[in-house]
Amino acid sequence: MPHILAIESSCDETAASVCCDGIILSNIIYSQEIHKQYGGVVPELASRAHLHAIVPVVDEALQKANVGLGEIDAFAFTQSPGLIGSLLVGAEFTKSLSLACNKPLIAVHHMQAHVMANLIQTPEDKNSIPSFPFLCLTVSGGHTQIVLCDGFLKMKVIGQTLDDAAGEAFDKSARILGLPYSGGPFIDKYAAEGNPEKYKFPEPKIPGLNFSFSGLKTSILYFIRDEKQKNENFVEENIADICASIQLRIVSILLNKLKKAADETGIKNICIAGGVSANSGLRKAFEELGTAEGWRTYIPRFEYCTDNAAMIAVTGYHKYLAGVFEELSVVPCARAPF
């Protein structure tokens, strides 16, 4: 019954989790508030905030799991991708624990872990998990990928964004509308009250399974600029319809490519993951498409969609079983393929 302690610190969440035999016992997330006033994550401030938060967050994860440090069998951390200063805090802290406790060290790829969030089980909720092979649409603030998953650690990216990520498309659109950072959840909230057919934004024609969101962002920018010249209160008066129309287009870009990937591979086990999978419009449209296409659909529980350490713990557990360990000389890396 191996216990894994995992630490996630790739961006602006300091998170720790303990799992036993792959079952999550605790999942503690501290979201750094300091960045809100700057309208985006400030890397230097993120590193400092991780330094302040990491000891209490890890302590709470152990306490909640009712597991002592001496009972941990291996220590896992997010190695890549992310902000290098943020990654360094988690990596060096985890290495120190591994050295002090004389237990193995496991490096985890953050995007692989987002996919693995679909395989998370908790003691109270042993939900059904997808069987292999499955496809996963991973949509976060930094990445948009379609991943073909053949086994626990056997993953291949078969489509990805050529420019902005889906989360960036939400956040940059929100910024154009004057909404606070991070804007995705605000667009989601306003969209619930709006008419998604009111304004038509273009769908890019990108070959294969790749995505592009930069053209959409530019068309929103020009549309809002032109409408504000005619009526300076245009955004305030139409915020719900604008948000619903933007959300509809981002969701249709994502799901049209996911359907293409499912058609081409013949795979019917389909998952979504990453922060944007918290979006209610995407979740609803995904379930509807799944029903129409005869897919078995999977979405991680909300707290496992945005950045968290439970997904690092469960990936770490499968690396532990496979005996994939690192030397203390291992270093984090801002960008790396998996």
Q: Which residues bind ligand KG4 (CB under 6 A)?
A: 11, 140-142, 167, 170-171, 182-185, 188, 274-276, 278-279, 306-307
By CB under 5 A, the residues from 19 to 38 that bind Zn ion are: none
Binding partner selected for residue 279 from Zn ion, ligand KG4, none, CB under the kind-specific 5 to 8 Å limit: ligand KG4
Query: In the chain, which ranges are continuous DSSP H helix?
Result: 43-65, 84-101, 110-116, 166-176, 184-191, 214-230, 234-265, 280-293, 310-322
Least Å from the CB of residue 246 to ligand KG4: 10
Query: In 131-213, which ranges are continuous DSSP H helix?
Result: 166-176, 184-191
User: Interacting stretch for Zn ion, rule CB under 5 A, among 183-191, 194-202, 227-235, 301-309?
Assistant: 301-309
The total of other beta-carbon atoms located within 10 Å of residue 93's CB is 21
Measured CA to CA, the distance from residue 4 to residue 320 in angstroms comes to: 9
Binding mask 130-149 for Zn ion (x = CB under 5 A): ----------x---------
Binding partner selected for residue 278 from Zn ion, ligand KG4, none, CB under the kind-specific 5 to 8 Å limit: ligand KG4
Least Å from the CB of residue 284 to ligand KG4: 12
Q: Closer to ligand KG4 at the Cβ: 182 or 297? A: 182
User: Residue 269's beta-bridge partner residues?
Assistant: 296
Q: Closer to Zn ion at the Cβ: 304 or 317? A: 304
Q: Closer to ligand KG4 at the Cβ: 3 or 241? A: 241
Residue nearest to ligand KG4 (CB): 275
Measured CA to CA, the distance from residue 160 to residue 208 in angstroms comes to: 10
Measured CA to CA, the distance from residue 186 to residue 116 in angstroms comes to: 27
Measured CA to CA, the distance from residue 216 to residue 222 in angstroms comes to: 10
- The helix-helix angle for 234-265 and 214-230 (nearest 10°) equals 160
Least Å from the CB of residue 223 to ligand KG4: 20
Residue holding tokens 């129309």? Answer: 245
Q: Would you count residue 307 as binding Zn ion (CB under 5 A)? A: yes
Q: Which residues bind Zn ion (CB under 5 A)?
A: 140, 307
